[in-house]
Chain A
Amino acid sequence: MIRLENLTVNLKQFTLSGINLEVKRGEYFIILGPTGAGKTLLLETIAGLRRSDSGSIFIDDIDITRMEPERRKIGFVYQDYALFPHLSVRENIIFGLKCRRAHKIAIVMKLLQLAKLLNIAQLIERRPETLSGGEKQIVSLARALSTDPDVVLLDEPISALDPQQREGVQNELKDICKKLNRTFIHVTHNFEEAIALGDRIAVLSEGRLIQSGTPEEIFRHPNSEFVARFAMTRNIFAGLVTDDGYGGSIFTIDNNKLEVMTELRGQLHASIRPEDILISRDVLISSARNSIKGKITRVDDRGATLYVTVSTTTEFVCLVTRRSYEELGLSEGSEAYITFKASAVHVF
């Protein structure tokens, strides 16, 4: 468990002020914030790479606020991996153990264990510059885990990866956190990443933590413009992805079964943009695979456009122009059908 009490860092141009935070062992914690919110500064302060001006940091109730970084048992993974370019993958991973003068046998055992856990045995003798982004990221994680840290800090660990690699690394990070029962603190500016990974999320803005809670709490009741603007422009659901029996996928939320396009399976999230949902009075016969009957429960007037909430067992927000809304003769309380393509649902 790691606890921050009133942590404050004053820099010339920027202040990180009064950060209070508690993250449990085995928890995957996300710190979400826009660029310049102080995310990296916060992580570097937790790791002891920067001095805090006031406040305290505790790991398992031991005060580590003034402890040297090398004694804190905190692992660090940087966005662009920061692998030592003059060392091989093996030497990178065992660097920390060698510095701590671990026994040769212990080093080999650890290397084997990590190679197996992260499935990187084939990379061990390679040089960092020959690895792909995803491989570098996993090696960087292996290096951070080599010294059995209590807490692993990850600074935008998947932002630099291309989308294909991103999904794989994302799942792997969460798996490892749970398998090893370590505390992971991961900072990102990416909402979907935050929802997909976070057991809990804290929102950091201009050096302050302005909200924390489960992904649902954060996105249902955002108290920052930064999150609200995102939450409003997406329908976000938690649900279960299964096979539909024909080679496709079904996303189940409450009683609604949505056809979606994804290779992922299990308890996941989905988002649909309001502008991708069509509203109609009657069933719409079209190529779109999802059509659900519901009732209009709310209309948010935005001038030329309207955000219309259609409730089934779940609420969907749809964006329509004022003109089409009026021409359809819809109003609050009337029944309506919503229709969207399977490809309009983004599963993550």
Chain B
Amino acid sequence: MIKKTIKYLHQRRLTLTFLLIGLVLLLFIFIPLGKMIFSSSPSTLWNTLLDKEVRDSIWLSIYTALIATAFGLFFGVPLAYFLARHSFPGKRLVESLIDVPIVVPHIAAGIALLFVFGKSYLAGKAFDAIGIHFRDAVAGIVIAMIFVSVPFLINSAKQGFEEVDERLEKVARTLGASPWQTFFKISLPLARRSIFGGTVMMWARSISEFGAVLVLTSHPSIASILVYERLEAHGLEYALPVASVLIIITIVIFVALRYFTYRSKKQ
């Protein structure tokens, strides 16, 4: 019996080694999250939720991220399709530039945006004329979120379109589909899983954005900024419950999304 077990373990030594190594990382991720959630008592969390400022900021995070993602879809999906289907000189460069917002410090990204959307600058002036401001306004939160998180959507959608066999589009054309019909009936449905995945990533990344938003709009404050402000002004004790609530809400939303995408994958 013991011999058998030893033999079994011996055969599985690669699997077991990797599992143990991986476990370290899993604990590194789970322990802080768990401590965060369980360090505040349920009543404290409930009271935090009753705080209007907290509720408003979380709601603001969620819906500005939704708006940012909607813009991302509208502009990003066509760009992704274009990049997936065409090659042109400098394409590599364009693709690298798309990734830049992911790698620059987000404070710097915010400052860069300020130099374009600030009132005395080009785009800022133009939008000012139609009454849209980006300093300390919802629109500022949205553009900061788009800037730093749209690469996730573009890259994922592009990969999805690249995986669609071009011959399917060609066959559709010979059958009488126009280029538009081909896109909406063949390419888009076949890439939908990647686009959806990218959408979720973009939205998630938008909710968690802090640096770029801080530069443009600290008031009204989204949840991440509220956590920071409370930490600065009142200390850890006040910041913790807000952070916990934010984490719990995000986890619930993501587990739900995962569940639904997994189900549609099975079908």
Contacts and interface: CB of A to CB of B under 8 A. Distances in A.
B170 A49 contact: yes
A95 B175 contact: yes
Nearest to B186: A84
Nearest to B167: A82
B86 to A, nearest CB: 15
B189 interface: yes
Contact of A147 (B175, B178, B190): B175
Interface string A55-99: 000000000000011111011101000101110000000011101
Contacts of B185: 95, 99
Contacts of A100: 176
B257 interface: no
Interface residues of A, number: 26
A75 B167 contact: no
Most chain B CB inside 10 Å of its own CB: which residue of A44, A99, A144, A147: A99
**Nearest 10 pairs of A and B residues by beta carbon:** A96-B175, A69-B173, A99-B177, A76-B174, A100-B176, A82-B167, A96-B176, A99-B176, A70-B176, A49-B170
Interface in B141-184: 165, 167-168, 170-178, 181
A169 B176 CA distance: 26
A44 B168 contact: no
Given A82-B165, A84-B186, A44 B170 contact: yes
Interface of B: 165, 167-168, 170-178, 181, 185-186, 189-190
A341 interface: no
A163 B246 CA distance: 62
A44 B172 CA distance: 13
Most chain B CB inside 10 Å of its own CB: which residue of A44, A76, A97, A144: A76
Nearest to A85: B190
Contacts of A71: 176
28 contacts: A44-B170, A47-B174, A49-B170, A49-B173, A68-B173, A70-B173, A70-B174, A70-B176, A75-B174, A78-B167, A78-B171, A82-B167, A82-B168, A82-B170, A84-B168, A84-B171, A84-B172, A84-B186, A84-B190, A86-B190, A95-B172, A96-B176, A96-B177, A99-B175, A100-B176, A143-B171, A144-B175, A146-B175
Most chain B CB inside 10 Å of its own CB: which residue of A44, A96, A144: A96
A36 B185 CA distance: 32
A143 B175 contact: yes
Nearest to A79: B167
Nearest to A71: B176
Given A75-B175, A99-B172, A99-B177, 17 more contacts: A47-B170, A49-B174, A68-B178, A69-B174, A70-B174, A70-B176, A76-B170, A82-B165, A84-B168, A84-B190, A95-B172, A95-B185, A96-B177, A99-B175, A99-B178, A100-B176, A143-B175
Most chain B CB inside 10 Å of its own CB: which residue of A74, A82, A143: A82
Contact of A86 (B170, B173, B175, B189): B189
Contacts of B177: 70, 95-96, 99
Contacts of B190: 84-86
Nearest to B192: A86
A96 B177 CA distance: 7
Contacts of A69: 170, 173-174
Most chain B CB inside 10 Å of its own CB: which residue of A68, A74, A84, A100: A84
Contact of A99 (B168, B181, B189): B181
Contacts of B173: 48-49, 68-70
Nearest to A146: B175
A90 to B, nearest CB: 14
B60 to A, nearest CB: 37
